[in-house]
């Protein structure tokens, strides 16, 4: 990582001047950031992320952070002697597992992120779907990929019914940075574990965000030759799925990204979170550090 003290003053001024048009363009806009992958587990990248979020807030952009926590949940379950079980990529969440999910996401992980952002000079506040009635959910009906007549029971995994963003907007107006755990609540006050990419995509749509950024452990969407595709439309993504170029874990991430883009989020970025300050570079420079999906 380059030490800022070794950069010549003229070069620093040039860097700031290049960022100015982007700061002006995005001033007052909301950006929803899905925080996960290496950026969430590597101490140096954690620090970079916190600094980036604080800087965005200081220049007048409104970041909203939605975080995952799969590896941390898995570690906690193993400590309890409980083996994680998945169906079609979804964690089966019985009542005991849901208790662990809530404790890890809303307790350990969320508070770590809030602490990092505050330490970097920001004012972060942690939220779950219960706070201010933010995320109402219902039990997810998981149809079998091969036989849609079969429905898998994945326990307390949620499907979003509605998002009320008023608590997020109130915090933004008071100069706070919301940090959202992907936990929703049902009509009987039951808790639901929800995919963080889905929460980030839906929240970006409801907040009419300028951008949705999904931090990942890959460079972005790659073609069959392994080359980065810096920009895609939903039609191009459909073609890449049909010919098998896009598959596996990228499918749900892109489904949420396409939904957000179609619903009015101006740009969705799948960003390589392993690159130091990748999020800041993506927003405030013309250098691509991932794949951008534009609304059409």
H/E stretch holding 215 reads: strand 211-216
DSSP 8-state code for residue 28: T
Question: Is 69 annotated as ligand-binding?
Answer: yes
- The CA-based dihedral angle spanning residues 33, 38, 43, 44, taken in that order and rounded to the nearest 10 degrees: -80
Starting at the edge strand found earlier in the chain, the sheet holding 267-272 runs: 124-127, 177-180, 62-67, 30-35, 211-216, 267-272, 290-294, 231-232
Longest Cα–Cα distance of the chain, Å, equals: 65
Torsion of CA 214, 174, 127, 184, to 10 degrees: -80
Cβ pair 61, 29 in contact under 8 A? yes
91 is in an annotated binding site: yes
143 marked as binding residue: no
* Helices first, then strands: H and E counts in the chain: 10, 16
Q: Is 133 annotated as a binding residue?
A: no
Measured between alpha carbons, how far is 263 from 258 in angstroms, rounded to an integer?
8
Q: Which residues are annotated as a binding site for substrate?
A: 69-70, 91, 193
């Amino acid at each position: 990582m380059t030490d800022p003290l070794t950069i010549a003053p003229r070069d620093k001024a040039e860097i700031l001047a290049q960022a100015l048009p982007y700061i002006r363009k995005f001033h007052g806009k909301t950006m929803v950031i899905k925080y996960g992958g290496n950026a969430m587990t590597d101490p140096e990248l954690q620090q970079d992320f916190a600094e980036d979020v604080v800087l965005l807030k200081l220049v007048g952009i409104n970041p909203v952070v939605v975080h995952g926590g799969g590896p941390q949940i898995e570690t906690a379950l193993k400590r309890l002697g409980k083996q994680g079980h998945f169906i079609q990529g979804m964690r089966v969440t019985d009542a005991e597992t849901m208790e662990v999910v809530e404790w890890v996401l809303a307790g350990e992980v969320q508070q770590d992120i809030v602490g990092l952002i505050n330490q970097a000079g920001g004012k972060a506040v942690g939220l779950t779907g219960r706070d201010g009635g933010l995320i109402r959910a219902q039990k997810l009906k998981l149809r079998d990929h091969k036989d849609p007549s079969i429905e898998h029971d994945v326990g307390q995994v949620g499907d979003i019914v509605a998002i009320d963003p008023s608590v997020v907007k109130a915090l933004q107006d008071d100069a706070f940075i919301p940090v959202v755990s992907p936990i929703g609540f049902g009509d009987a006050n039951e808790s639901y574990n929800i995919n963080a990419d889905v929460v980030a995509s839906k929240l970006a749509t409801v907040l009419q965000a300028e951008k949705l950024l999904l931090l990942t452990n890959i460079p972005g969407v790659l073609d069959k030759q392994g080359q980065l595709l810096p920009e895609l439309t939903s039609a191009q993504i459909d073609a890449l799925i049909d010919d098998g170029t896009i598959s596996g874990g990228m499918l749900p991430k892109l489904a949420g990204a396409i939904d957000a883009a179609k619903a009015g989020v101006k740009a969705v970025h799948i960003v390589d979170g392993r690159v130091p300050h990748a999020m800041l570079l993506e927003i405030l420079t013309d250098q691509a550090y991932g794949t951008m999906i534009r609304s059409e």
